[in-house]
Amino acid sequence: MMSNEIKLLDCTLRDGGYVNDWNFGNGNITCIFDRLNKAGVDIIEIGFLDDRRPFDANRTIQPDTQSFSTTYSKTCPGNAMVVAMIDYGTCRLENIQEKEATWIDGIRVIFKKENMHKAIDYGLEIMKKGYKLFLQMVSITSYSEKDILEFTEHVNSINPYAVSIVDTYGLMHEEQMLRYFALLDENLNKDIGIGYHSHNNFQLAYSNTLEMIKLDSDRMKIVDGTLYGMGKSAGNAPLELLAMYLNKNEGKNYDLNQILEAIDVNIMPIYVKHYWGYSLQFYIAAENDCHPSYVKYLLDKRTLSAKAVNTILSEIEYESKLKFNEKLIENLYIEYLMNCVDDLKIIDTLTEELTGKKPLLIGPGKTIESEKTKISEFVRTNNPVIIAVNNIPGQMKTDYVFLSNPKRYPLILPALRNVDAKTIATSNVTPIDKPFDYTIRFDSLITDSDEVWDNALVILLNLLRKIGIESVSLAGFDGFTKNTATNYMDSNYVLSDDYNYLNAVNERLKKKIKEYRRNMRIDFVTSSIYDESA
């Protein structure tokens, strides 16, 4: 093995498969493989060996090595080393033919820390079949220095082709990557290569990989990339960028045109359907050193601000952070909602302030402007307490502003600062400057039976019923029309351009208002789709 050699490994057909369930289509599989070969990529990973999956020539996840031979039967021979990957425990040894019977050169075995010794022993059996063995330390940030030393001692006894640093959830900054590399470099046998597989949660996949490339080490280094960064969660280091850098700085001669053709023809149509890359979800996961499924679980609740999500994630014990536990996160979520706001006194205060008054709720619809004369006459005659809902209604004097939407709040904040009104906010909205006058627990205002549980009008009506209000009037709750540009006074408020979705919301709100009218008087001051008495 040459010392200080750098090899470029493409894992698009394997890691990229997390995006589309490995369903590239056989034509795409063949074309991608051939172009990577023509480009001179040193190592091509062709997919997962997983005997839980049936044979499918259109996918790059197969039950045995023979299936891969069939899947790639129409590809052109090339000079690249061909490897497959096994997630330890998902492929029995009997499904791996002897090396002479396949065209696969090597197998990469990924494993969690608790399985490292079993995975190494399993890898030894793969080596006995004639394959080059790559051992891949999944979630390496879960390894202590002691763990690394224990690992290297066992690895040295079997002497695999390479060992890889795998930053599964994109948690590492440069200094961490360098520390892990130094530990491996100092303790592994010198003829064992060191690889690096990165993810882009912190936008550091490419830069961290470059830092590894630049390291002065007398051993082979393997750097992973994928076409256009296609891959799990926030994606991987883009192969085209790594190839460009290696051409300019390390004397390589990868054919970038072949790589770009594969991206343009084979990858971009997938990208349009299945987005991957840097995102808020994967950033929050990496920032909290936790599994992305925890973040997705909390964001899917649609009841929490980013601050609340961070607060809940901070309560996860270190040992559980990288192993998703739905029961654990559900319990933490419930505990947060129960304790985030003590609103009993606030409910009492609002009850005292609003009892005996008939609120006029002001929505953000166009009728606030087109029927302002009607509203003015109603206000002059009835002298209601005016509550604006997720908006500031122009020249109209407002007594309260109700805030339940974290995304609408920043839009109205400039106007809110110039309004002499009290603020009532649900606990999923985080104040930007001064605290809200009243904060109400969000969970106390929603129920699983509400089909439009996140609708501001529904939430506010739930609050008003809770404090004993028996009669309300509504203005500016127009309902949604096909011309979505006319649904709100402010064009920035557009909820959706999908009228089928908006019409479904219309029907659900009609149903909800009809239900509320059984024990609360609801009058419409302005024209509304929801006013079935009109």
CATH no. for residue 188?
3.20.20.70
Strand blocks (E) in 69-217: 81-87, 106-111, 132-137, 162-166, 193-197
Q: Is the pLDDT of residue 4 over 90?
A: no
What is the spatial distance between Cα 93 and Cα 129, in angstroms, rounded to a whole number?
10
pLDDT of 1 reads 45
Q: Provide the pLDDT for residue 335.
A: 81
- Supply the pLDDT for residue 482: 73
Residue 219 is which amino acid?
R
- Is the residue at 176 inside a domain? yes
pLDDT at 2 over 80: no
What is the tally of structural domains in the chain?
Answer: 3
pLDDT at 75 over 80: yes
Residue 149 lies in a domain: yes
Confirm whether 534 is domain-assigned.
no
Helices (H), 405-454: 409-416
Residues 6 or more apart from 490 whose CB is under 8 A from it? Answer: 364, 391, 411
Nearest to 193 by CA among 239, 230, 224, 235: 224
Same domain, 333 and 373: no
Percent of the chain with pLDDT over 70: 94
Residues 118 and 38 in one domain: yes
Q: What does the block give as tokens for 160?
A: 């695999």
The runs of H, that is alpha helices, within 159-279 are: 174-187, 205-214, 239-249, 256-262, 268-273
Residues 23, 58 contacting (CB under 8 angstroms): yes
**By residue range, what is the domain housing residue 300?**
287-339
Mean pLDDT of 433-451: 81
Question: Which pLDDT score, from 0 to 100, does residue 532 have?
Answer: 79
Q: Looking at the structure, tell me whether residues 307 and 385 fall in a common domain.
A: no
Q: For the ranges 40-54, 123-137, 165-179, 477-491, which has the lowest average pLDDT?
A: 477-491
Confidence band of 442 (pLDDT split at 50, 70, 90): confident
Report yes or no on 281 lying in a domain: no
Are residues 263 and 114 located together in one domain of the fold?
A: yes
Instruction: Starting at the earlier edge strand, list the strands of the sheet with 385-389.
Output: 438-440, 422-426, 400-403, 385-389, 359-362, 471-475, 521-524
Phi/psi-derived region of residue 40, left when phi > 0, alpha when psi is between -120 and 50, beta in every other case: left
What is the distance between the alpha carbons of residues 463 and 164, in angstroms, rounded to a whole number? 55
User: Does the structure show a pLDDT above 60 at 358?
Assistant: yes
With respect to residue 205, please indicate whether it lies within any of the assigned structural domains.
yes
Residue that the structure tokens 């790059």 belong to: 60
Domain membership of residue 278 (yes or no) is no
Lowest mean pLDDT among 80-94, 303-317, 484-498: 484-498
Residues 83 and 64 grouped into a single domain? yes
Q: Cα(first)–Cα(last) distance of the chain, in Å? A: 84
pLDDT band for position 339 (cuts 50, 70, 90): low
| Closest by Cα among 499, 508, 408, 387 to 458 | 508
Q: How confident is the model at residue 434 (pLDDT cuts 50, 70, 90)?
A: confident
Task: Give the dihedral of Cα atoms 351, 353, 355, 357; nearest 10 deg.
Answer: -140
Instruction: Based on the fold, state whether residues 268 and 304 are members of the same structural domain.
Output: no
Instruction: Read off the pLDDT of residues 282-311 as tens digits, 9 standing for 90 and up.
Output: 899 989 999 999 999 998 876 677 888 999
Paired residues of 61 in beta bridges: 48
Q: How far apart are CA 424 and CA 462, in angstroms?
A: 14
pTM: 0.73
Residue 301 has a pLDDT of 74
Q: What is the pLDDT of residue 302?
A: 67
Kindly state whether residues 441 and 299 are assigned to the same domain.
no
Q: How much is the pLDDT for 336? A: 80
Q: Are residues 83 and 99 in the same domain?
A: yes
* CA 238 – CA 12 distance, rounded (Å): 10
Do 484 and 510 have their domain in common? yes
Residues of the chain above pLDDT 90, percent: 72
| Closest C-alpha among 528, 180, 148 to residue 365 | 528
DSSP designation for 319: G
Residues 160-219: pLDDT tens digits?
Answer: 999 999 998 889 999 999 999 999 999 999 999 999 999 999 999 999 999 999 999 999
Q: 341 vs 107, 335, 403, 449, 459, CA distance in Å?
A: 53, 11, 15, 23, 17
pLDDT of 490 > 60? The answer is no
What is the rounded distance in angstroms from the CA atom of residue 230 to the CA atom of residue 267?
Answer: 8
Q: For all residues of the chain together, what is the average pLDDT?
A: 91
Condensed to tens digits (0 to 9), the pLDDT of residues 240-273 reads: 999 999 999 999 999 999 999 999 999 999 999 9
Q: Are residues 316 and 462 in the same domain?
A: no
Phi and psi of 510, rounded to 5°? -55, -45
Range in 11-25, 49-63, 264-278, 436-450 the model is least confident about: 436-450
Same domain, 329 and 369: no
Sort 437 into a burial class: Cβ within 10 Å, 0-12 / 13-18 / 19+: middle
Where a domain ends, among 224, 246, 273? 273
Task: List pLDDT tens digits, range 461-485.
Answer: 999 999 999 999 999 999 887 765 5
Would 413 be classed as within a structural domain? yes
CB burial of residue 499 (10 Å; 0-12, 13-18, 19+): middle
Q: Are residues 441 and 505 in the same domain?
A: yes
Q: Does residue 489 surpass a pLDDT of 60?
A: no
Residue 282 placed within a domain: no
> Which residue in 466, 406, 456 sits closest to 436, CA to CA?
406
Q: Which helix (H) or strand (E) holds 225?
A: strand 221-225
Domain boundary (323, 339, 355) is at 339
